[in-house]
Structure 1
Amino acid sequence: MNNNLNFNNLNKTPVRTKSWLNVNDITLRDYKAPEIGSFNNDKITGSDLEGVTIEKLNKGNVFPLNKKFIYGVSDEIVNQGEFDFNKGYVINIAKNAKVQEPIIIEFNMDNENKTLVDNILIVAEEDSNAKVIIKYNSLDDSEGYHNGVCKIFSKNNSNIQVVKVNLLNKNTMNLDSNLSDVGYNGKVDFVSIDLGGKNSITNYHGDLLEDNSESTLSSIYLGGDKKVIDMNYVMTHKGRRSKSEITTKGALKGEANKIFRGTLDFKRGASRSVGVEDEYCMILSPKVKGKALPLLLCEEDDVSGEHAAASGKIDEAKLFYLMSRGLSYNDARRVIIEGAFNPIIDKIDNENIREAILASIKECLDNE
């Protein structure tokens, strides 16, 4: 597979702002993608659930996507995920199916499976409900490369939750592009747990096509050492009375660097639509760098949009209170951070995965 990818100007904002702010995009200098080999260490749970069909993805069953906008980390990186993938699945939720148990796909990277380019298509037919969890894990310290593409089609009156959990090691590049097309009265609840990777570049575009469509995005991130975390979330309102919400919580330590871009884009005709976005970053070290760019774009008068981003140190009074009850400084700090993260972690309908997330948070915070 072609590995001559361009890592310049990734995760571009929908509209450009002042160049001296250095938030319009990100460039990964001196990084070269490895040769993409085979990947044979994945596991699927839930393929036998009633109303669920899971097939291996190939070029013959890739669904066409009528897109009139740019999505993903970059066109070139998305094209690798769409056409040069080494692992792919189509998940179909049947019409009227109400799937109670989550569908889980686990990708386990190791020395024998160190390059993963995955392409996941999720189709929720009319009046269906389901939950899909996609987990990325490292079994050793091998240098790795992950480039994922996930496209979610939520048809009329469907309700689909998609969770992505990144628990990759500190030697793995993580690139992740996600897109949802939401039909009439449909809902997509996207959850991103971004804890791993040497660098993590993630992108989500919710396209609210029809009336009463809804897309929510809840994400947490945690960065240490010199990790780069770059997020670009876009909600595009096209249908009337459409709703969107972006909620992001994060923490940075060491010399980590974070950029958050969140955009609410109200197109003409999206009357009476509502969008809200909020990002908060907890600063754990004086050497971290955190930037945020909340954007509100509007072509329609009768809409409501709220956007906010903030950062700050952990409340000293809370730390003092917890330490006065016998907790160490590290434990008190972890309790506060977990308290901010838990409302998002608790949305995941699998206890083992929730516990793995909490263990990863503890490991990162304890590793000074």
Structure 2
Amino acid sequence: MLNENFIKKISERNKEPKWLLDNRLDSFSKFKSLDKVEHIKHGLNILLKFNFDLERINSFDLGSKIIERNNDNIVVMDINKAVLEYSELIKENMFSTFNEEEKDKYFIELHRALFSSGVFIYVKKGFKIQLPIFENIVSSNKFSYNLIVVEDDSELTFIEDLKSKVNEYNSSVTEIIVGKNSEVNYCSMNNSTNGHNFNIVRSKVKENGNINFFSGLLGSGFNKTEVSSFLEGNNSRSNNVGMFFGDKEKQFDIYARSFHVGKNTKSNMFTKGIVKDKSKSVYRGLVHVSEDAIGTDGYQKEDILILNDEAEADSIPELEINNDDVKCSHGASISNVDKEKLFYLQSRGVNEEEGKKLIVDGFFYPLLREIKSDFIKQKFAKDFEKFLKK
């Protein structure tokens, strides 16, 4: 049963500083004051059911062993150990992209109170790591927090791979700080077969910095995910590419955001998804341009393909523009399988099921061109091919 003693035991086990325990207890108090979430609602008619009782969690996975690195160029370390060894750096950046006005406070405050695993990556100035860093997660009621700090003139590729075969709750928060003239490639692949997945990835990008996101949702029964970029520095860039595939009764609540703060910033958000059987998806996209963010170039596009009549999909793109020196646009399409294309394939000897697979393959193919990292491109292609063969 969740209570303050449970929170204190987490902190005591990790020998945490007082400031972190105080933060945990404050978040837990806020969580307890909120109404229990039993469904996710957008607008008047868009509803997703959430049927996992978070308050009954009384144990969770402490995380897998991290292969640590600590040298003059890069630090890779368990987050609990890093809190002790890099306390000031972590205190400055931990949950720095969050505020009191969060829409998903119920999930966020619980996560801030309970996170017990994760990785700290610190890339020092001028170092460009050539090979990607992998984090493989086998979920079992897991609350993980990752903090990635990349200093100026540096480069990093990070790939997170989630797998689970049980109906558990996985909660993950990742914050990425991108220094001046630096680039980060971040990939998150969810290959779970069941369970509930809550995932937030946020970045703060400084002058001339660049963040490339890719997220692939191929699993979990319930997915609530958010990817956000805060383009604080002038000439900073964000590229956010995502895909999802819903079958059976899977549910997706996907939120992509870019906040333009600096001058001459650019963001691109491109998502493709497929729903079939009785699966449901809600995609929300937001481009926010501040008053001083002149020269902004913001673009978002989402395409959803519905394979049968019982599947459902909704798309809610938004633009919030506070100055007139911008170039912003959005597009959204929700469509069914083109029967003429399917008929043409069948006329060439391809059966209906194989024809739909070919159409699905062609639907997702344009995403490959948008993925900047060759490592991530190969990872996506391999995982997607495996998924289609199931």
Give the TM-score of the pair, scaled to structure 2: 0.81
Aligned to 1:238: 261
Q: Distance in 2 between matches of 1:55 and 1:42?
A: 12
Percentage of matched positions with identical amino acids:
24
- What do residues 200-230 of structure 1 show as CA deviations (whole Å, max 9, x unaligned)? 0111221111100111110001111222110
- What do residues 182-209 of structure 1 show as CA deviations (whole Å, max 9, x unaligned)? 1001011111101111110111221111
Q: Distance in 1 between matches of 2:270 and 2:111?
A: 26
Residue correspondence of structure 1 range 54-93 to structure 2 within 5 A: 54-58=76-80, 59-60=83-84, 61=87, 62-65=90-93, 66-67=96-97, 69=99, 74-93=104-123
SS in 2 for 1:64: helix
Please say if 1:151 is aligned against 2:178.
Answer: no
- Gap change, CA 1:269 and 1:9, over 3 Å in 2: farther
Residue correspondence of structure 1 range 56-205 to structure 2 within 5 A: 56-58=78-80, 59-60=83-84, 61=87, 62-65=90-93, 66-67=96-97, 69=99, 74-109=104-139, 114-138=140-164, 140=165, 142-170=166-194, 172-205=195-228
How far 1:35 sits from its partner (Å)?
1.6
Between 1 and 2, higher relative CO (CA 8 Å, sep ≥ 6) is seen in 1
Q: Which amino acid aligns with 1:300?
A: N
- Which stretch of structure 1 is more off in the superposition, 49-58 or 79-88? 49-58
- Gap change, CA 1:12 and 1:29, over 3 Å in 2: closer
Q: Which amino acid aligns with 1:134?
A: E
- What do residues 35-70 of structure 1 show as CA deviations (whole Å, max 9, x unaligned)? 253425636579589943211112544343444756
Q: Does the aligned pair in 2 maintain the 1:126–1:158 contact within 8 Å?
A: yes
Q: Distance in 2 between matches of 1:253 and 1:71?
A: 35
Please say if 1:32 is aligned against 2:53.
Answer: yes
Q: Distance in 2 between matches of 1:259 and 1:362?
A: 26
- Which stretch of structure 1 is more off in the superposition, 74-83 or 268-277? 74-83
Q: Distance in 1 between matches of 2:67 and 2:40?
A: 32
SS in 2 for 1:225: coil
Q: Distance in 1 between matches of 2:91 and 2:388?
A: 37
SS in 1 for 2:262: coil
Instruction: Give the aligned length.
Output: 348
- Which stretch of structure 1 is more off in the superposition, 33-42 or 221-230? 33-42
Aligned to 2:37: 8
More helix by share: 2
Please say if 1:293 is aligned against 2:319.
Answer: no
Bigger Rg, structure 1 or 2: 2
Q: Distance in 2 between matches of 1:311 and 1:127?
A: 41
How far 1:359 sits from its partner (Å)?
1.1
Q: Which amino acid aligns with 1:53?
A: V
How far 1:339 sits from its partner (Å)?
2.3
How far 1:165 sits from its partner (Å)?
0.4
Q: Which amino acid aligns with 1:332?
A: G
Q: Distance in 2 between matches of 1:215 and 1:29?
A: 31
Q: Distance in 1 between matches of 2:389 and 2:157?
A: 26
- Gap change, CA 1:180 and 1:290, over 3 Å in 2: same
Any stretches of 5+ residues in structure 2 without a counterpart? 4-31
Q: Which amino acid aligns with 1:37?
A: S
